[in-house]
Amino acid sequence: MLRERRNEPFRYTFSTPLPGFYNKKFNRQVAGALQVKDISLNGLRFSCDANPSLSMKDELILTFIYKNETFSAEGRVIWLKTDEDGMTCGIHVYEFPERMQAIIYQLGDTMNDSNKILG
């Protein structure tokens, strides 16, 4: 049901979050380390230390590492959740670089393959 609402074919959750960092697009002093928890063609979810300067609709520049390759993308905060461990943010990514799009498709294929094995 959640997949339909998001209108995306899959969302891949990393067993080990990807390291990276964010910068607020129009205020580069607002920045911090992040851990990418999951990814889809539409966006990603990351956790970070609580930052009161981050809010809904902020535009961010995200940089993260996947298998020793660095990727950057721009997006907008679409939801925030704060708890005792920090913050979790949902980001709508405007467009991933082509190479990252290909990787996301491959991750989706691995999910489909494991579903066939389990099913």
> What CATH code is carried by the domain that includes residue 92?
2.40.10.220
Q: How many domains does the chain have?
A: 1
What type of residue sits at position 50? Answer: A
pTM: 0.83
Q: What would the two tokens of residue 69 be?
A: 């390759």
pLDDT in tens, the chain (119 residues): 233 345 556 789 999 999 999 999 999 999 999 999 999 999 999 999 999 899 999 999 999 999 999 999 999 999 999 999 899 999 999 999 899 999 998 888 776 655 444 44
Q: Do the Cβ atoms of 11 and 3 come closer than 8 Å?
A: yes
Rounded Cα–Cα distance for residues 67 and 70 (Å):
8
Q: Which domain holds residue 103?
A: 2-118
Q: HSE-up of 118 (CA within 13 Å, CB side)? A: 6
